[in-house]
A and B are shown apart, each in its own frame.
Chain A
Amino acid sequence: MIDRLRACFARAMKLDAPAVERIDASTTAADLPAWTSVTHLSLILELERAFNVRFDNAEVASLGSVGAIIEALAAKGVRA
């Protein structure tokens, strides 16, 4: 799953390979300068396309860490 997540981050935030490799389950928005409130919206759409899920608009604000994203995907039936 982490590789699929990294691919979503790379597309949404136009990250280079070294930045992508540093993303892991403990990464939060504070660790990634490119993760802004604007790129966050693109990230949500990329995640929805990649994992075939739909996030409620109201839960978007709470998905500011990889851990929260993994939990939210698990709640929607997506397993690692």
Chain B
Amino acid sequence: MPEDHELASPNDNVQPVLVPQVNVNDDEVRLVGWRVEAGACVRAGQVICEVETSKSVEEIPAPADGMFVPAVDEGRMLAVGALLGYIGPSREAVEAFLKASCADRPADAPAADTPRATLGAVQLAREHGIDVAMVPATGDRIRREDVERFLAATAGAAIGDPGPLPGREQEALPPLLAPLVTEQPPLGDHAWSVARHLAATQARLTTTQVAADVRMDRVVAWMESRRQSGRVAGVPAAMIHAAAAAVAADARLASFRLGRRVFRYQAVDIAFTARSAEGRLFAPVVRGADRRSPDDVADEVARLSMAVFRGELTGADQAGACMTVSVLADRPVRWHVGLQNAFQSAILSCGAVREELVLLEGQARAVPTATLVLSYDHGLMDGWEASGCLDAARQALENLAG
């Protein structure tokens, strides 16, 4: 099988099988091994391989019935979205498909989604977890050798360089700093994966924020009511409810860009940040948040939080969220700015609930208040539009009913 695969559009019978987003914190996985032979007939849902994430080994199912032809070797590190293989009615059909793809679109043909880059450049950049749009072109388009040159030039980027490539490991400590610092244990696999994936996401987005104060008296009353009836509730559940309202105000909040291409999630599945007992950060997903009552959301948040705390969260629990909420209610922070997760464009953040004096009907009253911050992609919407989403979230919180 050729090294530089063509990502041509699938015909009716043959389709490429790509690495899915198994874990929201990982932008690459290791192909541990194939579970089917090359040329084996598989069923949709049948496990075809195992991949290793920063957290666990996950099984990857076939997306359709057919004959599976692998495209990469075991042991390789693959970016999310990279090619695993092909499924078609027969091995000959897959080979004919590949041959036709290469004939129509030579290896150096422009990629459909990145007009200035060739397919070879896009594939190599994706394998190394970088945005091909960041690579300088030496000709009229970004070619594979441009990416190779870029990778070589940034492999040893030192601390203090003006723009180290997101996700690229910095290896050279400036000599002047050596007597001033002592090296500490490196980041663990999970922390490194989170750092790299957040950096890669930020490199794709044009991120900015809008913020607003919100009255939390209805939220506090709802939480108190649940506590009195012996049920657990926290601010994250209310924030998920608010995020669903924000998405209803403008569905672009549930979309993300890959360059100029825009993708929109079909379901309003919203993630929330949660910590395990060891302090590791995860983002489990509440499915169909727009169709659940706040009480139902709170029960689901409790279930998922317990799974995180126990270290039992699965890849399926974390995949496919359209946006994320992040709450630091237990810390004395007024507000904080969240960073968007992979393949999302927005995150709604909230600091601690505080008492603020407001004038209501001529009387000074202490009202529970919090500051919301919506981080969004300015490539998808501007501040005016984002503030409309934030206002929808604010209204959802100020009008909260169980």
Contact = CB atoms under 8 A, between A and B. Distances in A.
A62 B231 CA distance: 5
A44 interface: yes
Nearest to A38: B330
B370 to A, nearest CB: 16
Interface residues of A, number: 23
B305 interface: yes
A64 B312 contact: no
A58 B229 CA distance: 17
Interface residues of B, number: 25
Given A38-B330, A41-B309, A45-B277, A60 B230 contact: no
| Secondary structure type dominating chain A contacts | helix
A57 B330 contact: no
Given A36-B330, A41-B309, A45-B309, A28 B230 contact: yes
Interface stretch (B80-88, B110-118, B128-136, B296-304): B296-304
Contact of B224 (A30, A55, A57, A68): A30
Nearest to A60: B306
A60 B227 contact: no
Contact of A64 (B230, B301, B303, B309): B230
A30 B230 CA distance: 8
Contacts of A68: 230
B228 A40 contact: no
Interface in A9-51: 28-30, 35-38, 40-42, 44-45
B33 interface: no
Contacts of B299: 58, 61-62
A64 B226 CA distance: 9
A62 B306 contact: no
A29 B232 contact: yes
A63 B230 CA distance: 6
Interface of B: 224, 226-234, 236, 277, 298-299, 301-307, 309-310, 312, 330
Q: Which 10 A-B pairs have the closest CB atoms?
A: A37-B234, A65-B230, A61-B302, A29-B227, A30-B227, A30-B228, A61-B299, A41-B309, A64-B230, A57-B306
